[in-house]
Every structure is written in C-alpha cells, then in structure tokens.
C-alpha cells in the first residue's frame, strides 16, 4: 500500500466499489480498503434489487443472480394477499442477487479500473489537518500506517464510524433502526419467482417479514422490526423463529445472519472538508423497503464523480463537495427517499385491523403502474373511513 | 456496565449505529467496547439476538 493517494475509499460494499471505480476511471490514484477478510462476506442483506435499477449500473449476469422474479406479494395480517405482477410492481419486482459474488464483481471492476484494493484493512482514525480530513490511519493485516489522501469517501456501512470520527453525527435513533435477522433456508415450499412481504404487528412490529427466493426450494427468510419494539422475548429472532416454525417446520437453516438497517432520514449533510459519505453510512436506505443496494451504488458513483472533479480542481473543501450532497438530494433517488420516509411514518402507525382494511381494498384494483402516489390515491378512493388520515398523507407527500 | 456475549453476537453493527456515545465498534467482524459507555441500554434494545446486556451493580 502506498502512503499517499488522491482518493481513499473506506468500505468495499457497493457504494465503495462504485466510488472507487468511478474515481479510478477518471484517472485518479485510488485506494479502497475493506476491514473484512473477504469482499461480500458475511452477507448482511436480503439481496433484492429492481431490474431496471440494477441495469443502470451493470448488465445482469447469471453468475450473481440467484432468482429472476415475476411478481411480488404483500400478505396482510389476516392472510389477504395483494399480488403485483411484473407489469404493476415496478421496482418491487426484480432480482435476488448472490451478494457474495456480486460485491466481488463490483470491486473487481474497481480494481480493473485501476484502484488499489486491500482487504483485512481498517481505518482506525481520520488524519485531520486544520479541521479537514486528509487521509486515515489504517491497520492492514496487523500493520499500522498512515495513508494520506486529498479526499476520503466513507462508505463503511450502517456501523459507519469514519464520518463520526470526522465530526458528523451519524447516530441512528433506536426507533428508526430495523433490527434484522435472516435465515437462508432450504427444503421449503415457496414460490420461486415471487418476493413475499408479510405485514402485521403480530408478525413484524413496525417492519415486515420477507421470503425472497434463492432457488426452487431455497429462500432468504428474514425479518426486520423496529429497535423500539425489540426487547427480551420480543426480539427479531423470536418473531422469525415463530414464523419459521409455523410456515416452514421442515426447512433447514444453512445460513444465519443478522443486520441493522437504518430507516431514518439521510444524514443532514453528507460532506465535510476532505470527506464524502455514501451508501448505508449516509443513511440512504429506502425507509419503506429497507432496500439499499441501488442507493448505495447511486451515491457511490456520484461521490466518485464529484470527488474526482474536486480533486482535479485542487479543492476538496466542504463547499466544493456540496455539489454531491445537493445532487443526490435533488435526484429521483433523493426525492423518493424523502417521500417514502413520510409514507413509512404513516404506515408504522397502522394497527393490524387497518392493514387488513387497506389490503382488502387493494386486492382487486388494477393499477396500470404500481407507484406510491397511485397507491395512495386508490386507498383514498376505497377507504372513506380513513379519508382524513389518508388525505393528510397524500398532502404530506404531494 | 455493558456486557457483550460474544457467543450470541452476530456482528451486525446495529448496536454500533445506535450508540449515542460511539462507544462500540466492530473490529474485524468482532464487537468491542471502545469508548465511554454510559450504560444507557440502547444498544441492547437494538440487538436482534440479545447479545448485549446492561448489568447494574448492586
């Protein structure tokens, strides 16, 4: 590892990989460090992504696609099912990836573009000069060293520490941290081309439970519940075990992973002098679905683009880097995050009876295209009992 | 004081992200108490597996 780079990327997930690839393609010297011994493991993800969203970054490849989906199903607490086929479900229908292979592919492409890559290498502190980030102190396979850089891109995931060390408050409120557990299960009866979302306070309070296929009789079976609903006896794993015992009693668990998903608003500011924050570290996960792969790649690539421009211009001040913060917020992705945050805030207030009512009213509608705005309009038309609160929701996202 | 049961911990990072004091850190996928823990218990609430516990001394 050299001691000086133009850009240092902390974290080898999709955000870090796209940032490193983009910056390297722009001709800069780039170093990507990943604290784990292998890119892509352990997986902490349900691995779903919309088809069109994925294609914005990379052509689909069967080497890292576990399932090609045709429909999504939302299952209400009373079992009523809303089935959304490919033509209606938009980005909710897509692929289930094999992140172990997919993440490696992204980092491989960053390396191919010229970025240096070091695994088992963690940042332990930023190097600060006059309040600006100028690199990081790292430990690489046990060896401590300083790596200076004109710019650091922090893409160190939900447990991000780098941005916090540099002075940004990245703390996720307990109620907006989804506490998640997932089993990779095999030998279970599933629809291999459908993602299933189970709703309800008895099933997953302030969250949902998912069954995402990974093959004919194999699926990611996982759950996310709000941190404020989690306590002894009612932790995410307790709910998941109950569901699995009921629905997949003969299934075999071949992987057991846990993870945290933030569903708060993004960081108030994702740049500082010499620093950009991308992906889960920037809290750009979709607050409704908890999906974050696309948003990570989107912000990672944008950080790489703007960061490269600033390095070329010789100024990586907060003011110069603000173009990144403003651009992703103004993008379709940024606006969707803000709108979905408001929708999420409404939906977590619903009890099971209201969820059943809403699901019942949606069961037979035929939307030309499944959009959140269209969904709200349909709900208003079909739920006069909930007119006032739904209208308030519509106004809040208008 | 905070106790970490490493036999249960899944190294997911939930606790790190919610800790208001930045007291926890994942190092090489291994959870460590790094900074000043105020024993608020937020991390223990967030943990999906129940690996963290705040033990109040008598």
The list of chain A residues with pLDDT below 50 reads none
Give domain status of residue A335, yes or no: no
Looking up residue A36, the CATH number of its domain turns out to be 3.50.50.60
Q: Do residue A199 and residue A302 come from a single domain?
A: no
Residue A116 and residue A167 in one domain? yes
| CA separation for the pair B30, A92 (Å, rounded) | 34
CATH number of residue A243's parent domain: 3.30.9.10
Domain count across chain A = 3
| Same domain, residue pair A91 and A112 | no
Whole-model pTM: value is 0.93
What residues of A are designated binding site? 15, 34, 45-46, 48, 99, 123, 280, 292-293, 372
Which of B12, B19, B28 is opposite residue A258, by nearest beta carbon? B12
**Global ipTM:** 0.93
Hey, which residues 203-262 in chain A have their CB within 8 Å of chain B?
Answer: 227-228, 230-232, 235-237, 256-260, 262
Compute the distance between CA of residue A118 and CA of residue A329 in angstroms, rounded to an integer: 31
In this structure, the answer to whether residues A108 and A8 fall within a common structural domain is yes
Sign of the dihedral defined by the CA atoms of residues A232, A236, A239, A244, in that order: negative
Last residue of a domain, one of A223, A245, A262: A262
Q: Do A120 and B28 count as a contact with CB atoms less than 8 A apart?
A: yes
- pLDDT for A72-102, tens place per residue? 888 999 998 888 876 665 555 689 999 999 9
Cα B32–B38–B42 angle (5° rounding)? 75
How close does chain B come to A323, measured CA to CA in Å? 26
Provide the pLDDT for residue A365.
Answer: 63
Q: Are residues A249 and A307 in the same domain?
A: no
The 10 Å CB-count burial string (b at 16+, else e) for A267-292 is beebbbbbbbbbbbbbbbbbbbbbbb
A63 lies in which domain range?
Answer: 48-97+181-262
How many other C-beta atoms lie within 10 A of the C-beta of residue A105? 18
- Shared domain check, A142 and A18: yes
Handedness of CA A331, A306, A103, A119 (dihedral sign): negative
Do A143 and A86 belong together in one domain? no
Q: Is B33 within 8 Å of chain A by CB?
A: no
Rounded distance between C-alpha atoms, residue A30 and residue A103, angstroms: 18
Say whether both A369 and A248 belong to one domain. no
| pLDDT on residue A398 | 67
What is the reported pLDDT for A377? 74
Check B18 against A177: CB less than 8 A apart: yes
Is residue A228 located within the same domain as residue A350?
no
**pLDDT at residue number A355:** 87
Helix (H, G, I), strand (E, B) or coil at A218: strand
Please check whether residues A132 and A34 belong to one and the same domain.
Answer: yes
């Amino acid at each position: 590892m050299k001691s000086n780079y133009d850009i240092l990327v902390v974290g080898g997930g999709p955000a870090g990989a796209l940032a490193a690839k983009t910056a390297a393609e722009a001709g800069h010297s780039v170093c990507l460090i990943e604290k784990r011994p292998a890119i892509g493991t352990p997986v902490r993800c349900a691995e779903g992504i919309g088809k069109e969203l994925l294609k914005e970054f990379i052509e689909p490849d069967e080497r890292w696609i576990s399932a090609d989906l045709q429909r999504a199903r939302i299952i209400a607490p009373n079992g009523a099912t809303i089935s959304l086929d490919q033509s209606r479900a938009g980005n909710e229908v897509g692929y289930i990836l094999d992140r172990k292979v997919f993440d490696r592919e992204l980092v491989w492409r960053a390396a191919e573009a010229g970025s240096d890559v070091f695994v088992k290498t963690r940042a332990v502190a930023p190097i600060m000069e006059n309040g600006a980030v100028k690199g990081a102190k790292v430990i690489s396979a046990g060896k401590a060293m300083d790596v200076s850089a004109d710019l650091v891109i922090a893409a160190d995931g939900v447990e991000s520490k780098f941005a916090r060390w540099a002075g940004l408050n990245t703390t996720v409120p307990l109620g907006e941290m989804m506490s998640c557990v997932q089993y990779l299960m095999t030998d279970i009866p599933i629809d291999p081309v459908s993602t299933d979302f189970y709703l309800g306070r008895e099933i997953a309070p302030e969250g949902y439970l998912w069954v995402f296929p990974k093959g004919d009789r194999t699926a990611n079976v996982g759950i996310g519940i709000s941190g404020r609903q989690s306590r002894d006896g009612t932790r995410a794993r307790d709910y998941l075990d109950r569901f699995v015992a009921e629905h997949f009693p003969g299934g075999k668990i071949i992987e057991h992973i846990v993870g945290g998903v933030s569903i708060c608003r993004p960081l108030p500011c994702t740049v500082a002098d010499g620093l950009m924050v991308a992906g889960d570290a920037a809290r750009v996960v979709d607050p409704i679905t908890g999906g974050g792969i696309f948003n990570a790649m989107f912000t990672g690539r944008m950080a790489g683009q703007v960061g490269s421009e600033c390095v070329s211009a010789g100024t990586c001040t907060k003011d110069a880097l603000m173009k990144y913060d403003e651009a992703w917020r103004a993008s379709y992705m940024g606006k969707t995050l803000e709108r979905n945050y408001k929708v999420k805030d409404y939906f977590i207030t619903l009890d099971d009876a209201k969820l059943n009512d809403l699901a019942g009213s949606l069961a037979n509608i035929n939307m030309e295209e499944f959009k959140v705005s269209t969904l709200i309009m349909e709900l208003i038309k079909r739920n006069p009992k909930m007119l006032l609160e739904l209208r308030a929701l519509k106004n809040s996202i208008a | 004081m905070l106790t970490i049961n490493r036999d249960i911990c899944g190294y997911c990072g939930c606790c790190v992200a919610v800790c208001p004091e930045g007291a926890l850190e994942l190092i090489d996928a291994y959870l460590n108490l790094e900074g000043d823990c105020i024993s608020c218990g937020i991390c223990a609430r967030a943990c999906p597996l129940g690996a963290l516990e705040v033990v109040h001394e008598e």
